[in-house]
């Protein structure tokens, strides 16, 4: 872990807020958020970010506002903006044929801008797809339902502006890593299942998801909605008052709050699940894939075992795009997207 110097704190501010969005938050709760963000940011991301870069041939449209910011700091602006990453060749050719992958970044619901995933998104785009990377408000400035509403608002913006880019929203896929996978799962369920969409107050119609790609996901929310301790997986959520999932629990049925129930209840699209043998959420991925297959839903799972003397860990394709294992994941994503896309004249 990097030392907590001003230089290192300034470095992590390029991909996560630290205290920028916390002026209206009670001091004791803000302190927990700051400590958590610093702990995350000064860990491996501080090392990895020095190697992050965009590949050649990718056009980046960054920091596009999809809603009015709730404040004037960079954190408020980033929270309601998105990036679009496109192969330059698609712009040269014209037309509107690229399948679209919407990416929802992770960070335990409390950490990270969309910029945390820019390195991942631009590399995925180099495999011949469009990537739309979404920002959203972080805990403790909002809760789980608020984050979902931000994502729905961003998707509404995308519906309204898709004609400005060489993309085809009829071939829409959603990916997310860690907590972003949780948000991606419920977003896909809301878009594909009317009953789920109603409970989650999703305003979007006629935007079905053709497939989902989950990386090191957190899929089981029942321990949180039933008031069980959050200290094992999300200790800072409990320390910030433990209310992050309260409105979600109050506004949804029990079936929607559990992994098994959601898989049975929702019309989930085909999925790819990525994890590794040294991922602390590996079991969640395995159980989710099993639930999908038991339901008869299409689900591929890739549980990568690193070679001796090496590690992969949590969300390795997002944080370490240069790894051979990560490049294999990008090839899997490319094949999955094109296999499950339909093409129109």
SS3 readout for the chain: CCCCCHHHHHHHCCCCCCCCCCCCCCHHHHHHHHHHHHHHHHHHHHHHHHHCCCCCCEEEEEEEECCCCCCCCHHHHHHCEEEEEEEHHHHHHCCCCEEEEEEECCCCCCCCCHHHHHHHHHHHHCCCCEEEEECCCCCCCCCHHHHHHHHHHHHHHHHHHHHHCCEEEEEEEEEEECHHHHHHHHHHHHHHCHHHHHHCCCCCCCCCCCEEEEECCCCCCHHHHCCCCCCCCCHHHHHCCCCCCHHHHHHCCHHHHCHHHHHHHCCCCCEEEEEECCCCCHHHHHHHHHHHHHHCCCEEEEEECCCCCCCCCCCHHHHCCCCHHHHHHHHHHHHHHHHCCCCCC
d(CA 11, CA 319): 16
d(CA 104, CA 175): 6
d(CA 253, CA 261): 10
Q: And the tokens for 269?
A: 């699209």
Residue-wise pLDDT for 288-327, tens only, equals: 999 999 999 999 999 999 999 999 999 999 999 999 999 9
What's CA 293's distance to the chain center, in Å? 23
Question: What value does the mean pLDDT take over residues 136-154?
Answer: 98
More confident residue, 87 or 7: 87
**Is it the case that residue 10 has pLDDT exceeding 90?**
no
Say which CATH topology domain 54-339 has: Rossmann fold (3.40.50)
Residue-wise pLDDT for 51-71, tens only, equals: 999 999 999 999 999 999 999
d(CA 162, CA 179): 26
What's CA 301's distance to the chain center, in Å? 18
Sequence ranges of the domains in the chain: 54-339
pTM over 0.85: yes
d(CA 250, CA 299): 30
d(CA 169, CA 82): 16
Q: Which residues contact 296 (CB under 8 A, 6 or more apart)?
A: none
Taking alpha carbons only, the member of 46, 49, 45, 78 closest to residue 64 is 78
Q: Do residues 313 and 278 touch, judged by C-beta distance below 8 A?
A: yes
pLDDT at 28: 97
Model confidence band, residue 1 (pLDDT cutoffs 50, 70, 90): low
Give residue for tokens 């085909």.
270
Model confidence band, residue 344 (pLDDT cutoffs 50, 70, 90): confident
Question: What value does the mean pLDDT take over residues 126-141?
Answer: 98
Give residue for tokens 């496109």.
86
**Is it the case that residue 3 has pLDDT exceeding 80?**
no
Model confidence band, residue 33 (pLDDT cutoffs 50, 70, 90): very high
pLDDT at 233: 82
What is the percent of the chain with per-residue pLDDT over 70, rounded to a whole number?
98
Taking alpha carbons only, the member of 20, 52, 46, 48 closest to residue 33 is 20
Left (φ > 0), alpha (ψ -120 to 50) or beta: where does 244 sit? alpha
């Amino acid at each position: 872990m990097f030392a907590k110097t001003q230089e290192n704190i300034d470095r992590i501010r390029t991909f996560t807020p630290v205290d920028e969005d916390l002026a209206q938050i009670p001091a004791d709760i803000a302190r927990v958020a700051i400590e958590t963000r610093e702990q995350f940011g000064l860990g491996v991301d501080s090392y990895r970010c020095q190697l992050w870069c965009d590949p050649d041939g990718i056009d980046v449209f960054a920091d596009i506002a999809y809603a009015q910011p709730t404040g004037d700091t960079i954190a408020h602006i980033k929270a309601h903006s998105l990036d679009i990453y496109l192969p330059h060749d698609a712009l040269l050719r014209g037309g509107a044929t690229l399948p679209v992958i919407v990416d929802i970044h992770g960070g335990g619901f409390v950490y990270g801008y969309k910029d945390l995933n820019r390195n991942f998104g631009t590399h995925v785009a180099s495999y011949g797809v469009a990537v739309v990377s979404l920002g959203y408000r972080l805990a403790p400035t909002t809760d789980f339902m608020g984050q979902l509403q931000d994502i729905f608002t961003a998707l509404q913006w995308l519906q309204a502006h898709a004609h400005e880019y060489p993309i085809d929203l009829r071939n829409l896929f959603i990916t997310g890593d860690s907590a972003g996978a949780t948000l991606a799962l419920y977003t896909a369920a809301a878009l594909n299942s009317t009953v789920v969409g109603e409970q989650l107050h999703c305003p979007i119609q006629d935007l079905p998801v053709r497939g989902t790609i989950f990386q090191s996901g957190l899929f089981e929310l029942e321990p949180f909605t039933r008031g069980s301790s959050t200290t094992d997986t999300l200790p800072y959520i409990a320390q910030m008052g433990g209310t992050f999932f309260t409105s979600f629990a109050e506004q949804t049925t029990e079936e929607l709050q559990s992994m098994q129930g959601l898989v049975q209840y929702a019309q989930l699209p085909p999925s790819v699940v990525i994890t590794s043998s040294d991922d602390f959420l590996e079991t969640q991925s395995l159980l989710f894939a099993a639930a999908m297959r038991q339901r008869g839903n299409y689900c591929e799972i890739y549980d990568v075992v690193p070679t001796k003397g090496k590690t992969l860990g949590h969300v390795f394709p997002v944080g370490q795009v240069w790894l051979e294992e990560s490049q294999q994941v990008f090839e899997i994503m490319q094949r999955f997207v094109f296999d499950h896309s339909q093409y129109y004249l």
